[in-house]
Amino acid sequence: MSGVLDPLRLKAREAKRLLVDGEVSAAELTKVYLDQIAAVEERVHAFIRVTADNAAKYSTKIDREMQAMRGPLAGLPLAVKDNMVTEGVTTTCASRILHDYAPVYTATAVRKLWDAHVVMLGKTNLDEFAMGSSTENSSVQVTGNPWDLATVPGGSSGGSAAAVAAGEALWALGSDTGGSIRQPAALCGIVGMKPTYGAVSRYGLIAFASSLDQIGPLTRSVYDCALLLRHIVGKDPYDATSVELPFEVELPEGDRLDGLTVGIPGEYLALGIEPGVRARFDETVALVEELGGRCVEISLPHTEYGLPAYYIIAPAEASANLARFDGVRYGHRAEGAEDLLEMYERTRGEGFGAEVKRRIMIGTYALSAGYYDAYYGRAQRVRTLVRRDFARAFEGVDLIVSPTSPTVAFRAGSRTDDPLAMYMSDLCTIPVNLAGLPALSIPCGLSDGLPVGFQLIGPAFSENRLLKAAHALEGALGFETAPTFRDSAASSDAADAARSVAARAAADGAPPAPPGEASS
């Protein structure tokens, strides 16, 4: 059976049916993905660590103990971004400072999926501590976009997005602080969702910016997105900012948008959206109307202030959160320091990469005496203005739509020398995090052979409305194209050399127990 399963096209909904009907075993399904990893990972570099042995053993156990292991997601293979701690499996955040960190507990979102008997395939690459928009800030390796390996997969959940797009995983978890699920999903031609702030526990998500971070799904369809989301949401005693959703996440149905009013923010379209992206966006808006939706122009007047506010708030929170990496309790420690202060400074100087240092510096500066009001205080007030923009807009519309990213996937190396140019990748996604809203990106076509993402934003706790609308639109768009693994830089070997900074250095250490074992 597994011979006819195409990992580039198979969706979780179909895989689940095949498993339930006994047409495929969990072990066979897992092997489909491990085989695809063996075939393409050398070029994609989506994983920091592949837990192949554990995945094979665990899936066999599911088949053997079918009565006891009938979790709602039993046997469905998953990839997890390597900033969620997993007991028994090294968690690195793609940072030198955590290169051998062996967590002694498991993130709640991952634990819930293990309890539902998903099969974890491995931990995926990211920008170090999730700080970046291209996954090039990883200290481990640079991930290639399966649509053109010379371009980036987006970031910071670039490893998870590339793994799903490349058929190396059925679906994946990512985290989104300023667009880190939606932007890579857009650039890799898949679905990615950031839930309402608080909907998913952040316990065990290594903190970047606590008031913005949120875990969410990266999948090959909107239905799959809802299916994964419904198993990770909920209030968690270990995360005081988590909340119980006032509803159950519904599996979306229907193909119409009748009665739905959709707002198009003029300010977003003025943000230097490239023509190919704009064309796909306009076509998709036309499709919304064909399906019975009504599109109106709206204004979110403080849009252009979102990015500056974000680049104070996120680094300020990061500078506090990353203070814990000091060489005392875990992670890297500099050798031979004379005293404690020297040990701290050298450990952190050696352990963090350039972008992480830059953000710690901005954050520390913004919080330092004399600058607090001018930067952090003001940014928090601007955050209120951004929230009010959305609140006002949602008085007149049900959803807001925009391009997810102003551009398609860009070439590796093309923005690394200019931090500000890289930050611009997230112009359309950042305001959503500032306001704590749910949003998702669906693929809406190609421009120059590369995927374009269409973002739908809803009011807080409108997940079901968002998923239903995205599902209807997805059906009408009919985007079923699979990536080709072409490499537009293939003529120069240099590109490939640059890509494997340290190819999967960590891939060998065998963790002690199959993931999920400890939970039973």
- Rounded distance between C-alpha atoms, residue 440 and residue 122, angstroms: 24
Of the pair 268, 344, the CB lying nearest other proteins is at 344
By CB under 8 A, tell whether 380 contacts other proteins: yes
List active site positions: 81, 156, 180
Q: Which two tokens stand for residue 206?
A: 């290594």
Among 97, 360, 440, 469, binds other proteins (CB under 8 A): 360
Is residue 205 within 8 A of residue 109, CB to CB? The reply is yes
Task: Report if residue 345 touches other proteins, rule: CB under 8 A.
Answer: yes
- Measured CA to CA, the distance from residue 258 to residue 476 in angstroms comes to 14
Residue-by-residue DSSP string for 398-422: SEEEEESSSSSPPBTTSSTT-HHHH
Within 13 A of 96's CA, how many CA atoms are on the CB side? Answer: 17
- Interactions with other proteins, residue window 401-440 (CB under 8 A): 419-420, 423, 434-436
CB atoms within 10 A of CB 378: 16
Angle between the N-to-C axes of helices 463-477 and 222-229, in degrees from 0 to 180, rounded to the nearest 10? 160
Residue closer to other proteins by CB (options 277, 460) is: 460
Cβ proximity to other proteins, 3 vs 237, nearer residue: 237
> How many other C-beta atoms lie within 10 A of the C-beta of residue 234?
16
Listed ranges 75-83, 342-350, 397-405, 441-449: which one lies at the site for other proteins (CB under 8 A): 342-350
- Give the sheet arrangement for strand 171-176, strand by strand: 47-50, 119-124, 77-81, 171-176, 214-219, 191-194, 439-447, 450-457, 399-403, 261-265, 294-298
Q: Which stretch binds other proteins (CB under 8 A): 70-78, 137-145, 246-254, 341-349?
A: 341-349
- For other proteins, which is the closer residue by CB, 105 or 258? 105
Q: In the set 13, 294, 387, 411, which binds other proteins (CB under 8 A)?
A: 387
Residue 345 or residue 487: which is nearer to other proteins going by CB?
Answer: 345
Q: Which of 229, 273, 382, 450 binds other proteins (CB under 8 A)?
A: 382
Closest distance to other proteins from the beta carbon of 352 (Å): 7
Q: Which two tokens stand for residue 313?
A: 């708030």
φ, ψ (nearest 5 deg) of residue 132: 160, 175
Nearer to other proteins, 23 or 304 (CB): 304
Report how far residue 25's alpha carbon sits from residue 119's, in angstroms, rounded to the nearest whole number: 12
Distances (CA, A) of 264 to 270, 276, 299, 437, 446: 12, 18, 8, 16, 21
Does residue 381 bind other proteins (CB under 8 A)? yes
Q: Nearest CA to 208 among 312, 41, 320, 65?
A: 320
- H/E run at residue 13: helix 12-20
**What is the CA angle 7-8-14, rounded to 5?**
60
- Distance of closest approach, residue 298 Cβ to other proteins, in angstroms: 20
* String marking each residue 295-334 x if it binds other proteins according to CB under 8 A: -------x-xx-xxx-xx------x---x--xxxxxxxx-
CA of residue 482 relative to chain centroid, distance: 20
Site string for other proteins, 458-497 (x = CB under 8 A): --x-------------------------------------
# residues contacting other proteins (CB under 8 A): 70
Q: Which of 358, 413, 485, 501 binds other proteins (CB under 8 A)?
A: 358
Strands 171-176 and 77-81: parallel
Nearer to other proteins, 330 or 485 (CB): 330
**Residue 102 or 285 having the CB closest to other proteins:** 102
- Phi then psi for residue 54, to 5 deg, are -60, -40
Q: Restricting to residues 246-305, which ones interact with other proteins according to CB under 8 A?
A: 302, 304-305
Instruction: Out of 197, 208, 281, 479, point to the residue binding other proteins (CB under 8 A).
Output: 197
Return the residues of window 6-65 that contact other proteins according to CB under 8 A: none
Q: Which of residues 99-158 bind other proteins (CB under 8 A)?
A: 101-102, 104-105
Side-chain-side CA neighbours of residue 383 (13 Å): 20
* Window 198-237: contact mask with other proteins (x via CB under 8 A): x------------x-------------------------x
Residues 6+ apart with CB under 8 A from 415: 134, 421, 422, 425
Nearer to other proteins, 90 or 183 (CB): 90
Q: How far is the CB of 266 from other proteins (least distance, A)?
A: 19
Judged by CB under 8 A, the stretch of 5-13, 169-177, 335-343, 507-515 that binds other proteins is 335-343
Torsion of CA 113, 117, 119, 122, to 10 degrees: 30
Question: Which residues make up the interface to other proteins (CB under 8 A)?
Answer: 101-102, 104-105, 197-198, 211, 237, 240-241, 243, 302, 304-305, 307-309, 311-312, 319, 323, 326-333, 337-346, 348-350, 352, 357-358, 360-362, 364-365, 368, 374-375, 377-385, 387, 419-420, 423, 434-436, 460
